[in-house]
Chains A and B, each alone.
Chain A
Amino acid sequence: MALGSDDKVRSFNAQTRRSLAPPVLDAEAKRRQRLRSIAIAWALAAIALMFFLVTIIRLGANVANRPL
């Protein structure tokens, strides 16, 4: 049976909502996602610290050589 125009709009809306709907995760998947987020946060912090430390070491005593 052919769809009416209202049905087509409803069908289109339903498909759009389906494609935009976030996947529902079970407890294990949520736990893994949380651990991944924590690992990324630690990695970013470690990289920032690494750049800071290397900059300080490269500058050496020149760190203090600035107008006060």
Chain B
Amino acid sequence: MSETQVSIESSVSTTTAVASVGDYIALLKPTVMSLAVFTAAVGMAVAPVHMHPVLAITALILIAMGAGAAGALNMWYDAEIDGLMQRTAKRPIPRGLIPRDEAAAFGLFLAAFSVLSLGLLINWVAASLLAASIVFYLVVYTHWLKRRTPQNIVIGGAAGALPPMIGWAAASPGVSWEGFALFLVIFLWTPPHFWALALYRSRDYARAGVPMMPNVYGPDRTRLEILIYTAATALSGFLPVLLGFAGYGYAAVAAALGAGFLFLAWRVFRVRGGFEADKASRQLFTFSILYLFALFGALWVDHGFGLGR
């Protein structure tokens, strides 16, 4: 056997890692996607125009694709720092399961497809808002703010707050104060949600060089800002009642959830050292997710799942 034959045979005996379908789904940040889809569905349900169920499902699928595209492009851009953080090191790109270029292509394709299809099949107002949320998340948050300022998630939160407005616009082309009120709830909710995480993951963020609030201004200032933003979030939960598109049942749920959210934020503010402080931050983080799902869920139920009109 010649040297050439040996080298060819040895080169083809290597195995290439192939990403599974699950790895591509993980690239779309399914948890964030589910929150976007859920809040968009509520935005649709509370809009004054009833949508045909097939059109509503189509819009939600395309909004999910758009949210997933933003997630994939974020993972493409942040692959290096994701690999440095314990929380994100198991994502498909740092693990070497999906090549970075492939993630970028996948994300760009999904972004273009979701925006164009939403425009063609539903309407161009909703499509424009979806495009704005993807561009804002990628350019303003991921590229400009994330590694530069502790206000990163405050301003960047606007991208995650847009889905209810997109849902509203899909049902009733245009923007409205009601849609903006739902935007404001998520916008104000974002800082306490992420800063609770940043409090018990501060070493992770420090290792990656991401200037989160606890790393820049310290945990005490973060705790105070969490408390202030939580109070603002709890109050904003009543906006649907004040604007007349939610009833007293919703108001009772908003009051109970707001009180729970404030109580946990107060505990984070008071308990400042050791394991108990970490535990309080973790509980606030977990509750914040429940808060948003339950608040929007209550609004959905209040509107009879949008099926009554």
Closest chain A residue to B10 by CB distance? A18
Residues of B with C-beta under 8 A to A58: 121
Q: For the complex, what is the distance from the CA of A13 to the CA of B15, rounded to whole Å? A: 22
CB-based contact A33/B4 at 8 Å? no
Interface of A is mostly: helix
In the complex, how many residues of chain B place their beta carbon closer than 8 angstroms to a beta carbon of chain A? 22
CB-based contact B4/A25 at 8 Å? no
Residues of B with C-beta under 8 A to A50: 58, 61, 121
B8 within 8 A of partner (CB): yes
Residue among A13, A18, A54 making CB contact with B54, cutoff 8 Å:
A54
Given contacts A50-B61, A53-B54, A54-B54, contact A18 B18 (CB under 8 A): no
Chain B residues 142-187 with CB under 8 Å of chain A are none
Residues of B with C-beta under 8 A to A26: 15
Residue interface mask B1-45, A partner, CB < 8 A = 1: 000100110011111111111001000000000000000000000
In the complex, how many residues of chain A place their beta carbon closer than 8 angstroms to a beta carbon of chain B? 24
A59 within 8 A of partner (CB): no
Residue interface mask A9-44, B partner, CB < 8 A = 1: 011011001100101111001101101100100000
Q: For the complex, what is the distance from the CA of A32 to the CA of B11, rounded to whole Å? A: 22
CB-based contact A21/B8 at 8 Å? yes
Closest chain A residue to B122 by CB distance? A54
CB-based contact B15/A23 at 8 Å? yes
Q: For the complex, what is the distance from the CA of A51 to the CA of B120, rounded to whole Å? A: 10
B309 within 8 A of partner (CB): no
Residue among A13, A36, A54 making CB contact with B20, cutoff 8 Å:
A36
CB-based contact B18/A33 at 8 Å? yes
CB-based contact A25/B21 at 8 Å? no
How far does the Cβ of A54 sit from chain B's closest Cβ, in whole Å?
5
Residues of A with C-beta under 8 A to B55: 54, 57
CB-based contact A14/B16 at 8 Å? no
Residue among A21, A23, A25, A57 making CB contact with B52, cutoff 8 Å:
A57
Residues of B with C-beta under 8 A to A35: 20-21
Closest chain B residue to A33 by CB distance? B18
Residues of B with C-beta under 8 A to A51: 117, 121
Interface residue ranges, B against A (CB under 8 Å): 4, 7-8, 11-21, 24, 52, 54-55, 58, 61, 117, 121
**A-B interface, 7 closest residue pairs, ranked by CB to CB distance from nearest:** A23-B16, A29-B18, A14-B4, A32-B18, A32-B20, A39-B21, A54-B121
Can you give 11 A-B contacts (C-beta < 8 A)?
A: A14-B7, A18-B8, A23-B15, A35-B21, A36-B18, A36-B20, A36-B21, A51-B121, A54-B55, A57-B55, A58-B121
Interface residue ranges, A against B (CB under 8 Å): 10-11, 13-14, 17-18, 21, 23-26, 29-30, 32-33, 35-36, 39, 50-51, 53-54, 57-58
